Structure 1
Amino acid sequence: MNKKKIYSTWFLVPAAVIFCVFFLIPLITSLFYSLTVWDFNSFRFVGLENFKMFFTEQSLSGSMKNTLVYAFSTSGSKVIIAFFLAVFLTSNIKSKNFLRSIVFFPNIVSTMAIGITFAALMHPTKGLFNTVLNMIGLKGADWLGNADIALYSVIFTDVWKGVGVATVIYIAGIQSIDKTYYEAASIDGASGWQQLRNVTMPLVRPAMNSVIILSLIGGLRSFDLIWSMTGGGPGFATDVVASVVYKQYAAGYYGLSTAGNIIMFILIAVIAYPLQKFLLSREVN
């Protein structure tokens, strides 16, 4: 019996080695270097000074707020919009496969390409958005140059790009629901809205939970779209933790950028793990 246990334990060794080499060791190393001022030749231990600076320097601490606003706004929008798109695309409509392809299309395009394209579309004088608004008698906006709306312009672009994946996940969840539930609800006289609320929404919750977790984590660690559209500007209006980490590393502040990575890791873990536990507890068994 003991030999069988030892034999089966050996199957865990490859996974344990990969976990240690590619996750545990880099994490411990990053945690150490986040407590130092270092370059590629030497390091000096400074304790929690890097973390203190990250939370007290306005240009750095503002990125925390922007990260949370960005993550929850994009995640919430994708969860709601994708659900109703999925309901529409699983109904009895013609050309629904073609429409599904259109919805999913943005996901096969490079994020950087989308960022550059939308930056051009949102140009204050030459962009298509303002040109159309001017044609119908409305005044355009400086979508990416106005500090008050720049972050929300990037959020809009992120939702446009990412809603397709969320819709596909929802479609898979809706199509897996047994049709007999809808037949029973129809016999009981339930309207379309009542079937949606009392049958579809509870039974599609596993798919919804996946969309929430994936989109929220993606929003918390987002970088490429923001960088390609605004570079964190104007000023620090669209800086998120990931873009600050990149800027500090490029400027040679390696200890500070490493501390930012640790903060981002902790932020994602603190938000995602309890949220996942809560969502799983609410799933219909």
Structure 2
Amino acid sequence: MKVFLWHVHGSWTTAFVHGPHEYLIPTLPDRSPDGLGRARTYTWPESAIEVSPQEAAAADVDVVILQRPQELHHLAEEWLGGRRPGRDLPAVYVEHNAPQGSINDMRHCVADRRNILLVHVTHFNALFWDAGSTPVRVIEHGIVDPGYLYVGELGRVAVVINEARRRWRVTGTDLLGFFRKVAPLDLFGIDAESLGGRDLPQEKLHREMARRRVYLHPFRWTSLGLSLIEAMHLGMPVVALATTEVPEAVPRGAGVVSNDPVVLEEGLRRLLAEPEEARAAGLVARRAARERYGLERFLADWEEVLVEVAG
């Protein structure tokens, strides 16, 4: 099967292209968001193939994966030689994000489109988005297991936030000052340099995270940060806000999950002061993450959907 999709979210796409199909990835010379091509900081299989607009227009595509409104409204049709997703080609829209705005206005861009399947990455998203009569499925995240890398020899806290300054309150960037009063904190992620942090390739990032004693997840309103799942796979204990899907993802014993700053502060101090407790919590986190967010389950769920949609 030939699957056409844009490289939008690095970690999610990395897991997705590990499936058994051929994945056509739009590519432009400037590597802009509409033509990012293959990942440069993640390891992808050879079955993920870069295609130019001319190659895409002539390609024999079996199914289109949409992830942004502009792909639905015009971009896919422009790239695919006038073929329209849902009409001329089978299509799935993957919604990665929690909805924004008034609860009464959270209507999805594919609402009442019965010719497109809407797939959410969390049950929280499916609950909050209004899809009308559009068929909906939930396929929870899966990641390539980086392995148990936890060392925790540094009594410091790791935080991963992409575009932390731009996404400020959404990602809890404004809370970092509070947590820095509790413990030494190291920020990683895209554009983290503007806040004194570092942006590292995935493999190096995982090893640097795993040297820290604890992983902090201060996100207020994202569907479920893949950095949290990656930290759990690494074997890191977690301190996280109890928002969106986090209470479902982080089991009891894997760290501290709360919306009370006092509880979070106490948990962070305790895990930093007790290396053995931190290590034990990290093992609980890793076991839970592998069971729920393993790559094999993720790809099996997607295989079922792709066969169903593409016939």
So what's the TM-score if we normalise by structure 2? 0.25
| Greater percentage in strand | 2
Higher RCO (CA < 8 A, seq sep 6+) = 1
So what's the TM-score if we normalise by structure 1? 0.27
* Structure number, greater radius of gyration: 1
